[in-house]
A and B are shown apart, each in its own frame.
Chain A
Amino acid sequence: MQTEEQELIRRILHGETALYAELANRYERMIFALVARIVGRREEAEEVTQDVFLKAFRQLGGFAGRSSFQTWLYRIACNTAVSHARRAQPRSLEIDERRLAVLPDKETDRLEEWTAHQERLDALTQAIGRLDPEERALVTLFYYEERSVAECAAISALTESNVKVRLHRIRIKLYLLVTAQSDETK
């Protein structure tokens, strides 16, 4: 697969640009799904997905093959979708840093009890929608697509320890958002 893909890329770089349709066709579904989860709206996701493939085409000569083509494409998709979402929704969610720091892990482990409660799951879905675009991207990659920390790090251009710290903070943030929402409704 890798060699066949590398051969395809080599031919595209040598002028057979029509072959790029094959690469686009192969990855459009997964890129569209990731972008849609980060930007939120279908119409915007379509536009951003096109931007991703256009950028990838322009930068194809710079693809050194250090990572897989999929990881490389995912990185472009993540960056493009996050920048687009930031422009569209520049205000980020503010959470008290002190609460993030002091909340014990045992408390956030209670998140797992919510799988049985649809209301809580709905609140959790809403809370994910309120996260920063980079955080939404990490949540999608790590929890939904079940990618490893190393893969998340390669895609988001962060170090593995940085990814772990961010995922930990996201978990606490989500817990706080959902509990704050349920406190308000009571």
Chain B
Amino acid sequence: MKRSEAIRRAVGQFPTPEPPADLTARIMARLQRAERQRRRIEALFTGTCAAACVAAFAAVARWTFAQVGEETAGTPPLPKESGWGWPQFEISLPTFPAEDAAQWKAWVLLAAMGFVLLAADLLIRRRIASLRK
């Protein structure tokens, strides 16, 4: 590819301004401002999301246990345990009386909520990563 002395000289005729003496300082000041702003947004965002997650978890837990209460109303209470002891390793086939079924449902719902929160956590992390770009 041929070079052109005429074009080189013509470009050279453009005045070449010197950068201001404090350009680096200005760049660093802007960078710090941008970083502070990013951290504020990040804190606000994660704080709001965390509060929303805790509220959602509390609401689901309360609703689930209220359901369990309704479904087990009228069933005789479980016998009281005599105290702490070594676990007993008895193999027995699972039975699902009304109380157990309701509790199972509650645990499944809570596990589902846990998965939803994990997904929310993943989304929040991805959002924060994109904010950093």
Contacts and interface: CB of A to CB of B under 8 A. Distances in A.
A59 interface: yes
A75 B70 CA distance: 67
A45 interface: yes
A111 B8 CA distance: 11
Grouping DSSP codes into helix (H, G, I), strand (E, B) and loop, the B interface class, with mixed when no group exceeds half, is helix
Contacts of B23: 24, 28, 32, 46, 49-50
A72 interface: no
Q: How many B residues are at the interface, by size bracket? A: 20 to 34
Given A17-B35, A20-B31, A50-B27, A112 B5 contact: yes
Contact of A50 (B11, B12, B30, B132): B30
Interface string A140-168: 10111010010000000000000010010
A143 B5 CA distance: 8
Contact of A37 (B1, B14, B24, B27): B14
Q: How many A residues are at the interface, by size bracket? A: 35 or more
Grouping DSSP codes into helix (H, G, I), strand (E, B) and loop, the A interface class, with mixed when no group exceeds half, is helix
A144 B12 contact: yes
Interface string B13-47: 11011111001111110110011000000000000
A45 B17 contact: yes
A24 B27 contact: yes
